[in-house]
Amino acid sequence: MSFLEKIKQPQFWSNFTKIALPFFIIVTIFSLLFNHFSEIFSGDFETLYQARFSEGKWKSFFGVKIVFSVIYGLYTTHKKMK
C-alpha cells in the first residue's frame, strides 16, 4: 500500500498521534534538561525563560521540535502500518 493510500485511513492518523505526540514531549523535556539542567534544578526559571522563550525565541525552540516530530511520526507510522 502506498503512502498516499495509507494517509487516507483514519487508523493512520490515530497511530501517527500516538507516536508523534509522546516523541515531541520527550524531545522537548530532554532538550530543556540537557541545555538548562542547572537552571531547572536551581529554580532559576527567569534565566531559562530569557534564554529560550522570550522575544519570540519560543517559535524556533518549538518549531524545530514540531517539524522533527511530524517527520518522525509520519515515517514511523508509514513503516509500521501494513
The tens place of each residue's pLDDT in the chain, 82 residues long, gives: 888 898 999 999 999 999 999 999 999 999 999 999 999 999 999 999 999 899 999 999 999 999 999 999 999 999 998 7
How many C-beta atoms lie closer than 10 Å to residue 33's C-beta? 11
CA 65 to chain centre: 4
Q: What is the pLDDT of residue 73?
A: 96
* Domain limits for position 15: 3-80
Q: Is the alpha carbon torsion for 51, 55, 61, 62 positive or negative?
A: positive
Domain count within the chain: 1
pTM above 0.95, yes or no: no
